[in-house]
Structure 1
Amino acid sequence: MTDKEYRSLFRSSPREAQNMVFDEYFSYVYTIVFNKLRSCAAKEDIEECVSDVFADVFEYISAENGHDGNIKGFIGTVAQRKAVNMFHSLTAKSGRTVSIEEGGADNITDYTDIADNAERAELRRILLRLVEELGEPDSTMIIQKYYYGMTSKEIAETVSLEPSAVRMRCSRAIRRLKDKLAELDIYLKEAE
């Protein structure tokens, strides 16, 4: 579709012209934007950039400016420029500086192990659920001791028990917690 064809369709039905251009070039624009922003942008940022590209394209072409070339080249140029601008904006906010023109965005290594993080998050969720199932005051004592690092004396003050009773209840609660985890085939490493 050329610019002239788009303008003539736009004159007769602006909505239809915009829908046609959007349907025809959406994948093209999304690919350009995604390739520039994949290393630094969230999906929402990429989608926002794609929307901005089409807004600029529709605004420019609906105005009478005398351009009558191939619309695909124009759309590609707008997509490139919008994506580069958003890339610079996002990396400036995060404090990272990489030259997108030199292919630097493709060379950024992410050392985050997503699978490991997901596994750890799931283990924490299970562990917290099992600690809560211990009931009070055991769950409170376990959280205070192992999460907040409180001493038996400090915990005793919060749960109105003697420090020796806190130590005894904590050791029993830990044994029950280990048994519950073992039922789920989860085994904790002993502290060194």
Structure 2
Amino acid sequence: MTDNEYRALFEKSPAAAQNALFEEYINYVYSIVFNKLRSCGSAEDIEECVSDVFSAVFLCYDSKQNINGDLKGYIGRIASNKAINMFHSLSAKSDRTTYIEEMTTQLPSEDTVAKNAEQSELQDIMIKCIKSLGEPDSSIMIHKYYYNMRSNEIGKKLSLPAATVRVKCSRALKKLKELLTAEGYDLKEGEI
């Protein structure tokens, strides 16, 4: 919807024009606001900001301000500005002094750090080995074990029958176990 189309509809029926504008741009505005407020705002804060954006847009058109045709850019700018203002407002409200006695986080022990480092190294090696399997085996393994997709979902995504996906997955798992053993990792059943 362009600025001129909206103005023509607004002349006939302001309520219909506002509904049409809302329906067309709600997802666009919501995504802008959500991306700015997701770290500090609640769902209610995000919805309130989206409402404020559309209120500002509707008020602007009531005052006959000229947008020069770029309606989407104009709405995006209003959404961004409103979200930034709300971000600053929410951040200021939540900013408070924390005393050391209130802090409940504990420093990790050496055992935890070492275990995390080992786990990270194993994951890096596993990714390298999975990539070395080649296509479509590597894609099947990633979809199956990282994204928890079922064989029929993977089959649709890769244009393969579900039975073929299961067979390829089983064979790829055996190859992966051999590759990891060659890297010095002796994994037991269920550890991959």
Normalising by structure 2, report the TM-score: 0.49
Q: TM-score, normalised by structure 1?
A: 0.49
Q: Which has the larger radius of gyration?
A: 1
